[in-house]
Amino acid sequence: MERYYQDSIECASPEKIREIQDEKLVEQVKHVWENVPYYRKKMEEKGVKPEDIKGVEDLHKLPFLSKYDLRDSYPYGLLGVPKKDVVRIHSTSGTTGKRVVAYYTKGDLDLWAECCARAIVAAGGSEEDVIQVSYGYGLFTGGLGLHDGAHKVGCMTIPASSGNTERQIMFIRDLQATIICCTPSYAAYLGESMKEMGLKPEDIPLKAGIFGAEAWSEEMRHDIEKTLGIKAFDIYGLTELSGPGVAFECSEQNGMHINEDHFIAEIIDPDTEEVLPEGSQGELVFTAIDKKAFPMIRYRTRDICTLHREKCSCGRTLIRMEKPKGRTDDMLIIRGVNVFPSQIETVLLEHGYQANYQIIVGRENNTDTLDVHVEMTPEMFTDDITEINKRQGDLVKGMLSMLGIKAKVTLVAPKSITRSEGKAVRVIDNRKI
């Protein structure tokens, strides 16, 4: 039977959720107008005043915030409370420019923990469970986010953090961990390492995994579920909005429920910024309606996604987001064609490979080149050149029909592509150099 952390919200009528959102949004806009001069200026430039916002129907009048605003206002320009009320910060890795630093009051941490607690209970967690948190602890939000959520649920929490794979497996076995939280690529690596150690799924007590922080396909879910002998749940979030737990999957595994009493979601056309009707694919935009220290209004996530309002058979009424298809800034334009790494991954998994690959983009004689290095699994490893050529040819064909362009595929030996303990690095774009 489905269990909920907070059924009064998770299963509330859409009217009740709307009432909560209306009330909190009006409050939040006032809060920002009074305390965040950077956003107030943006509102003034657009000619909007707090009294123009009477509820969610007026959300479209408000200006967007983007990563550029975060960079412009770094470090304290978007802070919504006096510094003395901030009790923690988190930060992104900053690989694509300046780091994003997000701030939290005690209340903000509490509502974030509540979001993660809902995700853990939806994955079958209760105080009977031992939960191993193998997301990185520290500036990354994964570790501490799930950790605080696990405390709320009352699980025995193992703050393993990422890395040291043998020790991870030892803890899972010795302490009888039933739930593991980490990136899907690390979960796949744990499965691979278990196999190498001669362990079968039935040798470990895990029953569920809560995986997110990067895009992963349905095929990868099936692989992880099989190798670890668990049910794998997706979880979504971003540092700007608190961290993991903005949305979470239930036992239906059919989209992630957005915690709508804290976040209002919209889908926009990334080029025109026009709000699109429900069911359309576009860029996901979130308004955090009760987070006070770092109050994001209409924040453009750059994640490409679709929303669905139909009732879910788990009983939750919270709107669902599909697995993000990728990010607008992940999209590679190769010889004029839009290519997402997730499409390449789908082809590989359909052909029996695992998600151990690297995409290398370059330019020769003014033409883009697309090279995909793919690891053979230990079972399919061979040095028979004819066989390797045939398999490479099959992948080239598969990619041509998925992407519409020809890639060069090279099969490489098992374990020759570096594993990641956090988010996997899939693309090397040498055109930028």
Enter the tokens of residue 83.
């510094």
Buried b / exposed e along 104-135 (16+ C-beta atoms within 10 A): bbeebbebbbbbbbbbbbbbbbeeebbbbbbb
Q: Does 286 bind ligand DLL (CB under 6 A)?
A: no
CB nearer to ligand DLL: pick between 142 and 295 = 142
CB nearer to ligand DLL: pick between 33 and 233 = 233
Q: Does 142 bind ligand DLL (CB under 6 A)?
A: yes
Enter the tokens of residue 360.
């290398």
Beta bridge partner(s), residue 243: 238
CB of 31 to ligand DLL, least distance (A): 23
Q: Does 234 bind ligand DLL (CB under 6 A)?
A: yes
Considering only CA atoms, which of 238, 285, 296 is closest in space to residue 36?
A: 296
- State the amino acid at position 294 in one-letter form: F
Site size toward ligand DLL, by CB under 6 A: 21
Site string for ligand DLL, 80-109 (x = CB under 6 A): ------------x-----------------
Of these, 213, 285, 304, 312, which contacts ligand DLL (CB under 6 A)? 213
Alpha carbons 78 and 71: distance in angstroms, whole number: 10
CB nearer to ligand DLL: pick between 215 and 409 = 215
**Near ligand DLL by CB under 6 A, which window of 171-179, 319-327, 392-400, 405-413?**
319-327
Q: Does 150 bind ligand DLL (CB under 6 A)?
A: no
CB of 412 to ligand DLL, least distance (A): 26
Which residues contact residue 174 at a Cβ distance below 8 angstroms, ignoring those fewer than 6 apart? none
Cis peptide before 75 (omega within 30 of 0): yes
Q: Does 244 bind ligand DLL (CB under 6 A)?
A: yes
Q: What is the dihedral of CA 324, 328, 330, 333, to 10 degrees?
A: 130
Which residues contact residue 329 at a Cβ distance below 8 angstroms, ignoring those fewer than 6 apart? 96, 302
For the beta carbon of residue 361, count every other beta carbon within 10 angstroms. 20
**Near ligand DLL by CB under 6 A, which window of 52-60, 161-169, 170-178, 231-239?**
231-239
Q: Does 304 bind ligand DLL (CB under 6 A)?
A: no
Length of the chain: 433
Q: Does 235 bind ligand DLL (CB under 6 A)?
A: yes
CB nearer to ligand DLL: pick between 234 and 345 = 234
Q: Give me the residues that bind ligand DLL (CB under 6 A), please.
A: 92, 135, 141-142, 212-215, 234-239, 243-244, 301, 303, 323-324, 327
